[in-house]
A and B are shown apart, each in its own frame.
Chain A
Amino acid sequence: MHIQYKNKLNTLFMKYRSMKYPSMTYPLYNQFISAAGFESPADDYLEARLSLDELLITHPAATHMVWASGNCQQPRGIFHKDLLIVNRALEPRHGDMVVAHIDGQLTCKRLDIKNRRLISSNPSYPSIDIRDGQDVSIEGVIPFSVRGHRGWP
Chain B
Amino acid sequence: MTMKTLYKILSLTVIIFSLLITSCVKDLDTIPLDDDVLTSEKIYSDFNNYEKVLAKVYAGLAVSGQRGPDGNNDLRGLDEGFGQYTRAYFYAQELPTDEAILGWNDGNLRDYQEMDWSASNEFIFNMYSRIFYQISLCNEFIRETAADKLTDRGFNSTQISTIETFRNEARFLRAFSYYHALDMFGSVPFVTEKDAVGSFLPTQISRTDLFDYVETELLAVEGNLMAPKTNDYGRVDQASAWMLLARLYLNAEVYGVSAQYTEAITYSKKVIDAGYTLEDNYAEMFMADNQTANGIIFAIPYDGINIKTWGGTCFIINAQVGGSMLPADFGISGGWWGLRAKPQFVDKFPTDNSDKRKMFYTAGQAKDITDMFNFNHGYAVTKWKNVKSTGGAGVNATHPDTDQPIFRLADAYLMYAEAVLRGGTGGDLSAALGYVNEIRTKAYGNTTGNITQPQLTLSFILDERARELYWEGYRRTDLIRYGLFTGGGYIWQWKGGVQAGVATNEKYNLFPIPDADMGANPNLVQNEGY
Q: Do A and B come from one complex?
A: no
Residues of chain B having any CB pair with chain A under 8 Å: none
Residues of chain A having any CB pair with chain B under 8 Å: none
